[in-house]
Structure 1
Amino acid sequence: MKQPPLIWINVIFFISTFAGACILVPWRGFSHGFDATEWSWFVVLAFAAGLSITAGYHRLWSHKAYKAQPLVRVLYALGGALAFQNSALHWASDHRVHHKHVDNNDKDPYSANRGFWFSHIGWMLREYQPERYADYSNARDLQQDAVVMWQHKYYLWLAALMNIGLPLLLGWLHGDVLSMLLLAGLLRLVVVHHCTFFINSLAHVWGRQPYTDRNTARDNGILALLTYGEGYHNFHHIFEHDYRNGIKWWHYDPTKWLIRTLAWCGLADGLRQVPQEKIAAAKLQMQLKQTQKRLTHLSNADELLERLQREYEELKQHLLAYYEAKKQLLEAKRQQLAHEQLLPQVAELKRRFRQQQRNWQQLTARLGS
């Protein structure tokens, strides 16, 4: 098949920045060295750029997972220019297409089914979907956002200001312009690029699928460390409007922590969360499917599958009853109604649910071994 034409400006840009980071940064490090201030600015600007993509471009503008005040949106717009991954309007439009047509080789802009290289960076090097570049019909809501349109209109100027002007200023203030340009400018740009690109590539091939197997997205705690919390990608692809990716308190998700901190400060609101019972039900269904697959080769598979299905239905009923009772209790507390009579009921339903959950885990472990 004939390959689409190369986008030479992208090819030259990615090759030159990557080669520069691999050659010029080590050369400067060995011949001159980098001090703690330069490394500190490398980290600060890397997080500023990365979190502007994950908290701003991704969870705010692409998925409307929360609302942010104008000051926060302006900072995201500047940080997105610092990340140099196109305007928020273009990025969000592409990403919405990705979610709508995930893994569809003809429609998903960076389908993982076309290979690691394609989904990581190859999709940006050729004119695979030229009709997509100026079609923002799926982002009409963002076209009503003055900050988004300001950044889109002046994107190249803002990108130059943030990627060249800001490191130059920091280097001048620090007394070493070249070192700051190479470390906080060039190396930071390349690292943030490829860490973000891992969300499209590595997060679709490496990890577990605890919530859904309808697409290639994976959960990977190690990858979350490199992607500002976006490594819990299997969860994200089934519950894309949740402001969190890592839902447990121990999950490394600095994007979630940033959004929550902004909400505490009154700079964000409307944080959207998927009801816990939906998350639990999705995990339960995946456990059922995975155990069913492991049983198909056994001689008594029909009997075991029937028993597994019965246990699944019973656990699902306990799950729904428990979470419904919890909702009623929380609503009674919120309205300051008498809720003491609900406490024993909820406690008993919780006990039954936990017991049935233990039975289910023992059964699936035994059948899956």
Structure 2
Amino acid sequence: MSTTKPPLIWLNVFIFSFSLAVAAIGTPLYAYFIGFDWTQVVMLAVAFSYCGLSITAGYHRLWSHKTYEANAVMRFIFAIGGAFALQNSILHWSSDHRVHHRHVDNNDKDPYSAKMGFFYSHIGWMLREYQASRYTDYSNCRDLQKDKIVMWQDKYYGILAIVTNFGFPLIFGVVHGDIWGALLLVGVVRLVLSHHTTFFINSLAHVWGSQPYTDKNTARDNGILAFLTFGEGYHNYHHIFENDYRNGIRWWQFDPTKWLIKSCSYFGFTRKLRVSPEDRVEKARAKMQLVRLQAKLTAASNANNCDVQARIRLLEEEYELLMSKISDYYAAKKRMVELKKKHLTKHYENFEFMQQYNDMKLHLQEQRKSWKMLTAQYA
């Protein structure tokens, strides 16, 4: 990357600095001298959630990664919410994000590479024209250019952004009886919160948290960030399984974006929800456990120590056994699902296979326990 700094994008500089200053200074002053009521606070939460979910469920998981399909009603709602969030059009946002995933952490190609520093990945990349050569190159989004709602929003994005960011707060302010309070809280504060919680995924989620699935990039899983970003904080998982409509795959993980997408599928608003194969997910976690323990054992003492080498060999052997049993079990599970669909599980010729399937399941459970005990012992 050239050492000469590109020109500033003054519109972005103004929007980010002005909105932050007004929110940081104007909000406490207004609260002290005039005050806000609970209706305004609730409306702030509603508007913030609308913006956030439009980005996470719409811009990100629907359009950028195609993790599910949505009908025109949902796409329109997300398109309006995305303009309200003021994070550029669907087409431009998705194009940037696809480049980010393809070239993650590459300082020359990743639009918001975390290796360029916290400030750059958080907001700095939008303050200067770093992407002048590809600003209107949407060749990686030809699929989105076939979506009429995407192209309509892209064409009228400026108008939609102005109308939503002034119109929604004004309407609420008129109805509620406090226009200035609404413009400040639902307008400016909501915008700042929406911006920076999203930006945290590009910055904080690449430096703060754990890496349970891969260490091939800087992405981290962080439950606190997930709470602030409607489930986007499980970023390490996302960067290895980007085509999954879920970010938090465990039942206890906070991922309201996942819950929204899944709930809407029951009413026909969303469909074809994509999930990552269970065996690939389990193998990725086990692989990272192996890598970490190998490094820990090697660093703890002389790598040539016979005891250390024996432990590492034992780990590798148990790991290979686990991989083998995972592959066998999930292959059998796939066949079992097919048999159940065809109502063939009660046929005599499949009885032996069902016994084998149950045996494989039991053997995998035993190997999981063995692996868990061994990794806990060496942790």
What is the TM-score with the length of structure 2 in the denominator?
Answer: 0.95
Question: What's 1:356 paired with?
Answer: 367
Q: Which one-letter code corresponds to 1:337 in the other structure?
A: L
Picking from 87, 97, 100, the partner of 2:99 is 97
Picking from 120, 130, 137, the partner of 1:135 is 137
Q: Which one-letter code corresponds to 1:347 in the other structure?
A: N
1:183-206 alpha-carbon deviations (Å, 9 max, x no partner): 111100000100000010000001
Picking from 338, 342, 346, the partner of 2:345 is 338
Alpha-carbon distance between aligned partners in 2 of 1:159 and 1:326, rounded to the nearest angstrom = 49
1:293-344 alpha-carbon deviations (Å, 9 max, x no partner): 1121332232222221111111111111111222122111111112572444
Matched, 1:274 2:310: no
Alpha-carbon distance between aligned partners in 2 of 1:211 and 1:248, rounded to the nearest angstrom = 14
Structure 1 stretch 168-177 or stretch 348-357: which is displaced more?
348-357
Question: What's 1:261 paired with?
Answer: 263
Within-5 A mapping of 1:120-269: 120-269=122-271
Question: What's 1:82 paired with?
Answer: 84
Q: Equivalent residue of 1:274, what SS?
A: coil
Alpha-carbon distance between aligned partners in 2 of 1:27 and 1:304, rounded to the nearest angstrom = 63
Structure 1 stretch 174-183 or stretch 295-304: which is displaced more?
295-304
1:230-256 alpha-carbon deviations (Å, 9 max, x no partner): 000000000001000000111100000
Structure 1 stretch 356-365 or stretch 40-49: which is displaced more?
356-365
Structure 1 spans left out of the alignment, 5+ residues: none
1:47-88 alpha-carbon deviations (Å, 9 max, x no partner): 000000000000000000000000110000000001000000
Q: Which one-letter code corresponds to 1:367 in the other structure?
A: Y
Q: Which one-letter code corresponds to 1:363 in the other structure?
A: L
Structure 2 spans left out of the alignment, 5+ residues: none
Alpha-carbon distance between aligned partners in 2 of 1:359 and 1:238, rounded to the nearest angstrom = 26
Question: What's 2:17 paired with?
Answer: 15
Q: Which one-letter code corresponds to 2:201 in the other structure?
A: I
Q: Which one-letter code corresponds to 1:336 in the other structure?
A: H
Alpha-carbon distance between aligned partners in 1 of 2:115 and 2:177, rounded to the nearest angstrom = 48
Alpha-carbon distance between aligned partners in 2 of 1:13 and 1:161, rounded to the nearest angstrom = 16
Alpha-carbon distance between aligned partners in 1 of 2:41 and 2:76, rounded to the nearest angstrom = 26
Q: Equivalent residue of 1:272, what SS?
A: coil
Alpha-carbon distance between aligned partners in 1 of 2:295 and 2:345, rounded to the nearest angstrom = 48
Matched, 1:367 2:367: no
Q: Equivalent residue of 1:109, what SS?
A: coil
Identity %, equivalent residues: 55
Q: Which one-letter code corresponds to 1:362 in the other structure?
A: M
Question: What's 1:315 paired with?
Answer: 322
Q: Equivalent residue of 2:129, what SS?
A: coil
1:3-58 alpha-carbon deviations (Å, 9 max, x no partner): 22211111111100000001111111111111111111101110000000000000
**How much has 1:153 moved relative to structure 2?**
0.5
Picking from 299, 310, 313, the partner of 1:303 is 310
Alpha-carbon distance between aligned partners in 1 of 2:310 and 2:228, rounded to the nearest angstrom = 45
Alpha-carbon distance between aligned partners in 1 of 2:77 and 2:97, rounded to the nearest angstrom = 21
**How much has 1:2 moved relative to structure 2?**
2.7
- Computed over aligned residues only, the root mean square deviation of the Cα atoms, in angstroms, reads 1.1
Q: Equivalent residue of 1:296, what SS?
A: helix
Task: Number of aligned residue pairs: give it.
Answer: 368
Alpha-carbon distance between aligned partners in 1 of 2:166 and 2:29, rounded to the nearest angstrom = 20
Structure 1 stretch 270-279 or stretch 2-11: which is displaced more?
2-11
Alpha-carbon distance between aligned partners in 2 of 1:338 and 1:26, rounded to the nearest angstrom = 66
Alpha-carbon distance between aligned partners in 1 of 2:357 and 2:254, rounded to the nearest angstrom = 31
Q: Which one-letter code corresponds to 1:94 in the other structure?
A: D
Alpha-carbon distance between aligned partners in 2 of 1:64 and 1:86, rounded to the nearest angstrom = 19
